[in-house]
Amino acid sequence: MRIRTQLEAKIRAWVSAGVIDAPTSERILAFEAGQERKASLRWPVLLAMAFGGVLVAAGITLFVAAHWAELSPLMRFSLVLLMVAVFHAGGALLADRFPAFSTTLHGVGTACLGAAIYLTAQIFNLHENWATGVLLWSIGAAAGVILLRDWVQVAFLSLLFPGWLLAQWLIATGDDPRAGRPITFGIVLLALTYLSSGIGEQQSYARRTLAWVGGLALLPCVAIAMTSSMEWESSALYYHGAWASRSLYAFGWIVAVGGPLLLALLLRGQAARLNVLWAVWIYALQHMAHLSHHYDRAGNKNLLATLGLYLLCMIGATAMVAWGFHEKRKERVNLGVAGFAISVLFFYFDSFMGKLGRSLSLVALGVLCLAGGYALEMTRRRLVARMETKS
């Protein structure tokens, strides 16, 4: 609405200055109104297509599972191939008539490809490395990106290829409790790399998709990295299996650090140096989370390490806001504000709520939510408004 008001003001100024005449201004406003109507209808259609695609894939999976034992191996193999072919063929036929529906069908076809790979291995009793199936699935998604150039295939590839690396690492390290640290470090750094793929006005379909994937995954991945670092030492004390070799462990760290940073260099160029600073922050966060889980002989937690952990969380959230403001990315500002609010809430529950009475703690929590939420929202709005003014 604000953009339309600004456009109308500019058009009136152009008419007053004689740059355009009144009929031209009316045609411009009518064209922009039509564009707004198309945009307003787009999200419901996309949501309906996505929801319908998930339901179709789930229904087919349940139907096949219910009748799987009754089918011969030849029928099973033909069925899994037919599912992949039918959905991709339907997507190709509807590419010009209904692009959103075509994208949905191609996405369901790529999802069926993963099922086809593993069901084929089951049909013919192929006892191979199960991670190879994820690799084949990611190759199929990569082919979809090259041929179709749509966001669903990019989303599949952004999840499947790291999933293959994760599967290979788990197979190579077995139950070694140390294996979790490079994994959690890598997924947080990769989420940040995906999130930072959009720079300024660069709005390609691939960059938008990666930014969405990274934004949705970042906070859960940070939480996983912190909790796994807290539990690592206790898990290691009770582990009596074979430990992974030092060379394998070092190789895992090289991939966890080097892979996301190399991708950031390809996506961001010289701006990837900021991703290096984020890698340092992630390592410090993991280390501080590990120290915060130490207890003394009296059973008390390491207070300084706990305070340092929350301080690092707030520093990271503030840095995310500054990063988004610097590169004119609203999603990073919003994510940083959300991360700061979550850090404050967890700090309150962990450090203060148990020391207050029940009623007083609830009142204080309510005041914190109301006052803090208002302050954060006003700050977010001012930052977004300044970003729009600068652009």
Long-range contacts: 182-185, Cβ < 8 Å, 24+?
182/249, 182/252, 182/253, 182/255, 182/256, 183/252, 183/256, 184/221, 184/224, 184/225, 184/228, 184/229, 184/286, 185/225, 185/253, 185/256, 185/257, 185/282, 185/283, 185/286
Q: What is the pTM of this model?
A: 0.78
Q: What pLDDT score does 179 carry?
A: 81
Cα 386 versus chain centre, distance: 26
Q: What pLDDT score does 3 carry?
A: 45
Q: What pLDDT score does 159 carry?
A: 94
Q: What pLDDT score does 40 carry?
A: 45
Q: What pLDDT score does 196 carry?
A: 92
As given in the structure block, the two tokens for residue 230 are 């807290």
Q: What pLDDT score does 74 carry?
A: 79
User: Residue-wise pLDDT tens for the chain (391 aa)?
Assistant: 444 556 666 767 777 777 677 777 777 766 666 555 444 445 566 666 666 767 776 776 676 667 667 777 777 788 778 888 888 888 888 888 877 778 888 888 898 888 888 878 777 776 667 788 899 999 999 999 999 888 899 999 999 999 999 999 988 887 777 788 899 999 999 999 999 997 766 578 888 899 999 999 999 999 998 888 777 656 665 666 677 788 988 999 999 999 999 999 999 988 899 999 999 999 999 988 888 776 655 556 667 888 888 899 999 999 998 998 888 888 888 898 888 888 887 776 776 655 555 556 666 656 666 676 667 677 777 777 776 666 5
Q: What pLDDT score does 342 carry?
A: 85
**Contact criterion met (CB below 8 Å) for 376 and 343:** no
Q: What pLDDT score does 198 carry?
A: 79
Looking at this protein, which amino acid is placed at residue 331?
Answer: E
Q: What pLDDT score does 200 carry?
A: 64
Residues 280, 285, 291: CA angle, nearest 5 degrees = 130
**Contact criterion met (CB below 8 Å) for 123 and 77:** yes
CB atoms within 10 A of CB 261: 19
Residues 137, 141, 145: CA angle, nearest 5 degrees = 170
